[in-house]
Amino acid sequence: MRPSTVLVATALAAATIAASALAFRPPGKVDPHRISSPLLDGAQIDAETLDIVERACQNCHSERTHWPWYSHIPPASWLLHRDVAHARDRFNLSRWEGYTPVEKQALLSAIGAAARTSVMPPRRYTFLHPQSKLSGPEREHLYRWTRSERLRLRNPDDRIPRSGDNRYLWDRRF
């Protein structure tokens, strides 16, 4: 063999090894200290609602992501990493205490609407994770919790709105 052919073959082999090492890296790391932090820290959430959130939302919208085996194999790893990064950018349930009350109200409104209209969790996710699929009553339960939590955030002194208090009239339409 000619020396230039050996050099090219060696360079290609080295590039292939380097590329495969990068391709099979885990798509993301979970901070082990954040795993122990509660989801929706500071929110008043009952156990049933928290179970729904943990089952259907936390894998993408928190730092408690459990990466499945196929999340380490391209191109699935690229898609999953992108989806989780996008979901965490939208909101992160592990960092709930860092949002302002106004941000929390907006997020709760979006969460309730997405759950009620079956936008979340997405079908491509529930296809691979059937346990995350929400039933109609679970969607309604999550929606009602988001409404009550928004109301609590609007009334931090826990004042119950009186009949005829029109400031809360719009919330009763839903």
Contact yes or no for 69/102 (Cβ under 8 A): no
Instruction: Report pTM.
Output: 0.71
The first and second tokens of residue 80, run together, are 């999953």
| Of residues 28 and 33, more confidently modeled | 28
Candidates 113, 137, 140, 132; CA nearest to 54 is 132
pLDDT tier at 109, thresholds 50, 70, 90? very high
Domain ranges of the chain: 28-173
Candidates 160, 168, 118, 170; CA nearest to 143 is 118
| Of residues 31 and 102, more confidently modeled | 102
- 120 backbone dihedrals φ, ψ, rounded to 5°: -120, 150
Question: Mean pLDDT throughout 106-127?
Answer: 94
Statement: residue 32 has pLDDT above 50: no
Residue with tokens 């090492």: 21
